[in-house]
A and B are shown apart, each in its own frame.
Chain A
Amino acid sequence: MKTIKVEGLSKRYRIGKTRANSVRDTLAGFLRREISLEDRDLWVLNDISFDVADGETLGIIGHNGAGKSTLLKILSRITRPTKGKATIRGRVGSLLEVGTGFHSELTGRENIFLSGAILGMKRAEISSKFDEIVAFSEIEEFLDTPVKHYSSGMYMRLAFSVAAHLEPEILIVDEVLAVGDTSFQKKCLGKMQDISKGGRTVLFVSHNLHSVSRLCKKALWIEKGAIKNIGPTSEVVSDYLSKGLNFVPERSWDRPDEAPGGEHARLRSVRCLDDDGKIASTFDIRRPVMIELEYDVIKEGKQFSTTAHLYDPEGFCLFAANDVGPTWQHRQRPIGSYRSVVTIPGNLLAEGTFFVTVMGFGPITHETFFEAKDVVSFSVYDPIQGDSARGDFGGPMIGLVRPMLQWKTDYFE
């Protein structure tokens, strides 16, 4: 029995400068007959076909911008395909973010009902599960407090427990597990496992290959809007790890409308540089790695910092490095071009491949001004000359970081 049948699904976005977004421009463009001269078509999904059987858990992997999220949005009916068809048997529940429909002014109790209804639950269903939801979230005492006074952990717990008690026949989940602390992530993952064991069909998009491997028997790898591989998770994941990772030491955007960012700031480029300031994709383990961001502030009045997050190929985050320098900490950014560089010292990372995510964010407001996930990548190698943390050891060494730490050995006859 096929629960989901996708046939030739395609999605096109029009991108271009001439996209009129006011009545005036539309009329003017119409009169001058110069509509869409500069528009370009971008096929985010191109002729995707696959089936998901009843009770199957399918993991969807691929780089950012590969089309994973668009696929989920189409299957959740948030946006329509340009071509093709998908047939879904059963009630669909989709979780594309944690806390869908939450309103900060409302209390925990009010939000449980609101969010539940938005996610597709009936009122009677929410009432009957209410106690369970509250127990799972561990926020009993604060049930009648507006959620704006919650800590982010409490907010996440409540939001996830509403979502976890949704009982659709088909569950569509997008990386919601990527947030929250580790213990909370474990709890979520456990709940997800229960759901998939309960015989429901699950579609799960994630960056984290660990969780995909744990949760899904079958995986789908999408690259540039097309299916690269589909099959048993272990095969697809190893195929992805061997072929899918190509190092991109530099990314830049010529057209501001395609660059990551919003009304306040736009990213222009991200580069991996060595200590001579040259673009590099492989680094000697003893030398520093610099991540350089160039961006424009196009609207003033916001205070923000930049941050770089480092991930291993399986999606595990090594660290986040926020710019806490005093210059821009308490100052609104004037309009202009900026260049920010973060230096990862030598003898910190282990050998291997690393992916960098960069963001411009408000340290106080928690706003995101631009974000580019896995935007550049580089690898680190050790020439084994005896002065790295390896010493003269040539065999395999484990660990994601490899700092030079001080050992002291005393000898007692």
Chain B
Amino acid sequence: MQHENITIIEPRSNFASIGLAEIVRHRELIYFLALRDIQIRYKQTLLGVAWVLFQPLVASLLVAFVFGSFVRFDGVTVPYPVYILSGMVMWLFVFTAVTMTSNVFVGNTNLVTKVYFPRLIFPVATTLACLTDLLISLPIMLILMAYFGVAFFWQMLLTPIAIAMLFLLASVVGIVFSALNVRFRDVKFAMPFFLQIWMLASPIFYPVSFVPEKWRLLWAVNPLVGTLDLWRATLFGNSPDWQVIAVSSGSLLVLTIISIAIFRYMEDDFADIL
């Protein structure tokens, strides 16, 4: 018999590698786990897809109604409800993905303690499953834009770049929380608080230009700032604030490295703690 793959099992590895090759080898498992999440979610909720569509729409219209009547932001070039919805669909994805992902190991104890596969696959698959919500709500976004007479630009073809950044961001934040949640039980109580602050500190209801220029680059350390700016620039054909996007991208890269390092350090103990 030919043995090509030799596995060496040793005490804790140095967490220098992400084990990317192994994750790529398990790409079908990512697909099946994401598919499972999607199937279960749409089976369990009676309203299914409708719920995914109406949640951001209703929330956006409410916010637009409340704020739009007495606040006027300078950087907003499109009708306010459209602007809010564009931020809301993105934020709801981050919110749902991080919330779901943080629970992924605690909620799947039987898988973690009974079978091996690269642990990183789990949070990635869950985030991927949540991405379907975002994709489903995009047509609504376009319909609303058409309704309000927003012009369509060629830059829209570049929106997938912003969505990819958002996906990476949600994954890495989810990855950290999923690991911390295994080890520390109070993390789940801190998380809603963290998410709320994060939402208010991100340009979801207001434009990037709302923050004074001298603070703007420091603020852009929050990767969601640059991601949303890029998203709206490509969606509405505005000129983006390249400096903000550059700072956010750099910060996202650093966050990715730190998150994966933390995860790799903690993952060996998952099966023993759970």
Residues of A within 8 A of B (CB): 3, 13, 21-24, 26, 54-55, 73-92, 94, 96-97, 100-101, 103, 105-106, 110, 113-114, 117-120, 122-123, 169, 199
Given contacts A22-B185, A97-B110, contact A119 B115 (CB under 8 A): yes
Interface residues on B, range: 35 or more
Give the docked Cα–Cα distance between A84 and B10 (Å).
6
Query: Which residues of B sit under 8 angstroms from A26, Cβ to Cβ?
Result: 184
Given A80-B10, A90-B3, 19 other A-B residues pairs in contact with their CB atoms under 8 A: A3-B3, A23-B186, A77-B9, A78-B271, A80-B12, A82-B11, A84-B11, A85-B10, A87-B6, A87-B8, A96-B115, A97-B114, A100-B114, A100-B115, A103-B40, A113-B32, A117-B29, A119-B115, A122-B28
Closest CB-CB distance, B235 to chain A, in whole Å? 35
Main secondary structure of the interface of B (DSSP, over half): helix
Query: Which residues of A sit under 8 angstroms from B180, Cβ to Cβ?
Result: 23
Query: Which residues of A sit under 8 angstroms from B11, Cβ to Cβ?
Result: 80-84
Q: Residue on B with the closest CB to A118?
A: B115
Give the docked Cα–Cα distance between A54 and B36 (Å).
36
Contact of A103 among B3, B36, B117, B186 (CB under 8 A): B36
Contact of A92 among B7, B40, B110, B185 (CB under 8 A): B7
Closest CB-CB distance, A319 to chain B, in whole Å? 29
Give the docked Cα–Cα distance between A403 and B79 (Å).
88
Closest CB-CB distance, B120 to chain A, in whole Å? 14
Query: Which residues of B sit under 8 angstroms from A122, Cβ to Cβ?
Result: 28
Closest CB-CB distance, A321 to chain B, in whole Å? 28
Give the docked Cα–Cα distance between A88 and B190 (Å).
42
Interface pair A96/B40, CB less than 8 Å apart: no
Interface pair A23/B8, CB less than 8 Å apart: no
Q: Per-position contact with A for B107-120: 1 when CB-CB < 8 Å, else 0?
A: 00011111111000
Query: Which residues of B sit under 8 angstroms from A22, Cβ to Cβ?
Result: 184-186
Interface pair B28/A89, CB less than 8 Å apart: no
10 residue pairs, one from A and one from B, having the closest CB atoms: A89-B3, A117-B32, A77-B116, A22-B186, A86-B9, A79-B271, A88-B7, A96-B114, A23-B184, A78-B271
Interface pair B271/A73, CB less than 8 Å apart: yes
Q: Residue on A with the closest CB to B118?
A: A77
Interface pair A87/B7, CB less than 8 Å apart: yes
Q: Residue on A with the closest CB to B36?
A: A114
